[in-house]
Chains A and B, each alone.
Chain A
Amino acid sequence: MSEEMSKKKAPVLEVIDIKRHYTQRKKHLTTDGRVLKHAKIHSVDGVSFTLNAGEVLGVIGESGCGKSTLGRLLVRLEAPTSGSILIAGHSAEELIRKDRLNFRRTTQMIFQNPFDTFDPRFSIEKIFVDTLMLHKIGENNGMRRKIVIEKLESVGLIPAESFLDRFPHELSGGQLQRISILRSMMLEPSVVVADEPVSMLDVSIRADIINMLYSTAKEHNTSLVFISHDISTTRYISDRIAVMYLGRIVEMGAADEVATNPQHPYTKALISNCASIDPRSKHNPVKLPGEPPTPVDIPAGCSFAPRCPIATSDCSKIGQELRDFGAGRFIRCMKV
C-alpha cells in the first residue's frame, strides 16, 4: 500500500493541524455543575491527514466530535482558527483569495438535508443552468440545457425533460440528493466532502446514493471525504477511516482494519456497539460511562480518559500524540 502511495504525485488534500475554536458568549453549564463564562469551544482541535486522488476517507464519530465542523473547514465555509489546508500543494487560503470562484470548483460539498439544499423558488433547470453560467461552462443556453439533460439521464432521472421544470418540493429525497451530487460533479472538483449524505433518506434508497458517490469518486479520480455516524455504511464505502473524538482523530487506518481490529479504546467501544440486523448474532457492547461530552472544558491529558475503560492515572496527566504504527495506521493512545 505504501509503495503505491509513494508512486503517486503529491496528495490532493493535505490537512495540517487544523483547529477551529469558538468563543461562546453565553455561560456554559458543565455536567458536574460548574459555570464557565466565555467558554472556548474546541470544535476541531488539531486534525491532520492526507488524501490522494480517488481515495475515499470515512470520518466517523458521535455528535460533538467535530466531524461536521471539519467538513465545513475543508470546503472553506468557515475559516480555521489555525493550521492549514493544502489543495494539490497550494494553500487553500491563498487559492480562495486569488480566485474564489476557481477554488469553489476544486472543493465541493454534499449536504445532509437534500430537501433544503436548493432554493425552493427555482426549478431544477434553473438551478443547474445558474451554476453552469456562474462557472462559464457551456457557450449558450442551448448547450447548457443539453449538458443538464445528459447529466440527469446518466443517473437514471429519465425522462430528463420532465425533471427540468420541476421544483425541489416536488422531488423525493433520493432524487434531490442525486441532483446535488450531479451539480457538484459538473464542476469537476478535486475534493468532495459528503456530510451525512444519506442520514435523512429512507434506508431502502440509501444504497443508490452511496453507490453513486463511490463510483463517482473512483471513475473521476475525485477524493471523497465521507462524514457519518453510521459505521457500517462508512466502512462499506471508505478506503480509509478516521475516528474522531472531541475534535481530534484518535485512530486512523485502512477501513477494514479499523472496523474489524480497532485498537483505540474509543473505537473499540464504538465498533462493539454496532448492532447487526441478524437477530442471531451476539454482540457484547462496551459500555462507556457518562455522556458524549461537548468540546468545552476539555480535561488535560488524554481527552477520552474520563470515560476510558483502560485508563490509568497517567492518562489524565500526559497529552496524547497520534502515533504512527506503520502502513498508514495511526492511534492516539499510550496504552496500545
Chain B
Amino acid sequence: MRLNKIFKIIKENAQLKVGCTMLVILFLAALLAPVIAPHNPNILSDDMVVAPNMKYWLGTDGLGRDILSMILYGARTSLVVGFTAAMIAGIIGTLLGGFAGYFGGRIDGVIGEMINIFMMMPTFFLILIVVALFGSGLFNVMIVIGLTTWVGNAKLMRAQAMSLRQRTFIKSAEAIGESRMTILFKHIIPNGIFPIIANTTMGVAGAILTESSLAFLGLGDPNVISWGQIIQNGKSYLVDGWWMCVFAGLAIIFTVITFYLIGDGLNRVLSPKLRNLGKEVRG
C-alpha cells in the first residue's frame, strides 16, 4: 500500500522522476561494476593514453587503465562516501537540533554556540588538516565530512522542534505521562524529520564533491578508485588526453545533479504537506 503511494508521488513530480531514474542508473553501475566493466580497472596495460575506441570506450589513462571501468568502480566509492558521510551528518544534526529545539534553555544555549562555532569554521580546511594528521583513508574521510557538515541539519531540526513543541499533541503526550525523552524520539523527531531528509539528500552530493576534491588534491585514499583521483591523474593530460578529466568530471556532475534533483523534488513534495499538518477542518 505504502509502496504504491511512493511510486505515485515520484511519478507526479518531474524532479523526482528524473532524479530517481538517474539514481537507479548510478546504483546499478556501482552494484554491477564487476559484471559490466569491460576491463579490470586496476590492471596497468601498455595501451597508455589511448583515445576512446572500440576496445576502450572512454579511453585509457596515463597508466593504461580503462577509464570506463574506473568510472564504474569509482561510483562505488562515491556512493559509499556520500551516503555514509551524509548519514553521520544527518544523525548528529537531528539529535543535536532536536535536543536544542525541544528542551530549550541551557541545552539550546550550548548547542547554539556549537552551531555558531561550526558555522564559522572553514570546514574544508579542517578536513584537510584532519586528513593530513590522521591519514587519508576512506574511513577518515567519511567520518570527518560527517562531523563537519551536520550544522544545516541541526538548524533545520531545531526550528522544527521549536515549532512542534507548541503543538497540542506534544502537550497532550506530556499530560498523558510520556517522559520528555520519549516525546523527543517518538513524536518530535519523526514529525520534524522531513526537511532533514531532503537536506541530507543534498548532503550526499556535497560529500561526494568534497571527497572528489580531496582526491583531486591528492589527499584521497590511494587504495580505492575515485573519480577525483582520475581527474588528478588526468590533470597532466588535459590537452592530449582530454577524455580522462572530461568523463570523470561528467560522472561527478551526473551524480551531483541526481542528488540535487531528488533533494529538490523531496522538498517540493513535502512542503505542502508540512503546511497542512495540524490544520483544523473548519468552514
* Chains A, B in direct contact (C-beta < 8 Å): yes
User: Once the chains bind, are A183 and B176 in contact (CB under 8 Å)?
Assistant: yes
Q: Is A121 among interface residues, defined by CB-CB distance under 8 A?
A: yes
- Answer yes or no: B122 CB below 8 A from chain A CBs: no
Query: Is there a chain A Cβ closer than 8 Å to B272's Cβ?
Result: no
Is B178 engaged at the interface, CB distance under 8 Å to the other chain?
Answer: yes
Q: Is the C-beta of B190 less than 8 angstroms from some C-beta in chain A? A: yes
- Is B187 within 8 A of A119, CB to CB? yes
Name the interface size band of chain A.
Answer: 20 to 34
B20 → chain A, closest Cβ, in Å?
Answer: 24
Contact (Cβ within 8 A) A121 B191 = yes
Q: How far is the CA of A105 from the CA of B175 in the complex (A)?
A: 9
B169: A residues at CB distance < 8 A: 116-120
Which residues of B have CB within 8 Å of A113? 168, 280
Asked if A91 CB lies within 8 Å of chain B CBs, one says no
Given A101-B177, A104-B175, A200 and B280 contact (CB-CB distance below 8 Å): yes
A residues in contact with B179, CB < 8 Å: 100
Q: Does B171 contact A (CB under 8 A)?
A: yes
Interface status of B277 (Cβ within 8 A of chain A): yes
B165 to chain A, nearest CB (A): 12
Contact A135 B177 (CB under 8 A): yes
* Residues on A with beta carbons closer than 8 Å to the beta carbon of B191: 119-121
Distance from A25 Cβ to chain B, minimum over Cβ atoms (Å): 13
State A253–B220 Cα separation when bound (angstroms). Answer: 79
Q: Do A105 and B172 contact each other (CB < 8 Å), given the known contacts A115-B278, A115-B281?
A: no
Partner of A116, one of B168, B174, B175, B176: B168
For residue A228, CB closer than 8 A to chain B, the reply is: no
Q: 0/1 per residue, B169-203, Cβ < 8 Å to A?
A: 10111111111000000110011000000000000
How long is the Cα–Cα vector from A187 to B279 in the complex, in angstroms? 28
Q: Is B8 among interface residues, defined by CB-CB distance under 8 A?
A: no
B-side interface residues, number (CB < 8 Å): 22
Tell me whether B171 and A77 are in contact (CB under 8 A).
yes
Docked CA distance A183–B167 (Å): 18
| Residue B282, interface by CB 8 Å | yes
Bound complex: CA A184 to CA B173 (Å): 11
A113 to B281, CA, bound (A): 11
Instruction: Decide if A111 touches B172 in the complex (CB within 8 Å).
Output: yes
Is A30 part of the binding interface, using a Cβ–Cβ cutoff of 8 Å? no
Chain B stretch 148-177: residues in CB contact (< 8 A) with chain A = 167-169, 171-177
**Is residue A277 within 8 Å, beta carbon to beta carbon, of the partner chain?**
no
B33 to chain A minimum Cβ distance, whole angstroms, is 39
Closest B residue, CB atoms, query A75: B175
Give CA–CA (A104, B173) in the complex, Å.
10
Q: A109-B175, A113-B280, A121-B191 are in contact. List 9 more A-B contacts (CB 8 A).
A: A77-B171, A77-B175, A101-B177, A105-B177, A111-B168, A116-B278, A119-B173, A119-B186, A180-B172
Q: List 15 A-B contacts (CB under 8 A).
A: A77-B175, A108-B176, A109-B171, A113-B168, A116-B167, A116-B169, A116-B278, A117-B169, A117-B172, A118-B169, A119-B187, A119-B191, A120-B278, A121-B190, A131-B177
